[in-house]
């Protein structure tokens, strides 16, 4: 995937984790409705603490930059794969919510414009 930067802190980044991250974040393109070249992903993975061995010790964090809006999120989980999955789901919800909000505002503006035209005539 183009424009995908991944950083890893306090553990080794394996090829399988990298491929899994690219696959999950790449699936967000269908929600963004942007050309792949215009979207930039800054992805960060890490451990919250080196001293803990159980609980929510991994985190996945991403910043997505598009020409229209920037999105971001951070999730902590027991496994790095679970954190990546949860982060993808959260971002999909956030992007969908934003698109619906914009669509609703556009409809309200169009309705108001129609009413203004009727009131003039």
pLDDT tens for 1-12 read 678 999 999 888
- pTM here? 0.78
What's the distance, Cα to Cα, between the start and end of the chain in Å?
Answer: 54
Question: How high is the pLDDT of residue 71?
Answer: 92
Task: Cite the beta strand spans of 29-83 per DSSP E.
Answer: 40-47, 58-65, 70-77
CA distance 29 to 31: 5
Instruction: Name the CATH topology of 4-120.
Output: Double Stranded RNA Binding Domain (3.30.160)
CA distance 10 to 88: 22
Question: How high is the pLDDT of residue 55?
Answer: 67
Distances (CA, A) of 47 to 6, 31, 52: 14, 29, 9
pLDDT in tens, the chain (121 residues): 678 999 999 888 999 999 999 999 988 888 887 777 889 999 999 998 766 666 678 999 999 998 888 999 999 999 999 999 999 999 999 988 888 887 887 777 777 777 778 788 6
CA distance 38 to 67: 7
Angle of CA points 56, 62, 66, to nearest 5°: 160
């Amino acid at each position: 995937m183009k424009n995908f930067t991944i950083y890893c802190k306090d553990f080794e980044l394996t090829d399988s984790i990298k491929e899994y991250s690219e696959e999950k974040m790449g699936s967000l393109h269908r929600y963004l409705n942007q050309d792949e070249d215009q979207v930039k992903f800054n992805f960060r993975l890490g451990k919250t603490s080196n001293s803990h061995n159980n609980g929510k010790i991994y985190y996945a964090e991403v910043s997505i930059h598009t020409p229209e809006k920037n999105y971001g999120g951070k999730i902590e989980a027991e496994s790095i794969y679970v954190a990546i999955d949860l982060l993808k789901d959260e971002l999909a919800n956030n992007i969908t919510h934003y698109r619906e909000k914009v669509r609703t505002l556009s409809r309200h503006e169009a309705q108001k414009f129609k009413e203004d035209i009727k009131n003039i005539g």
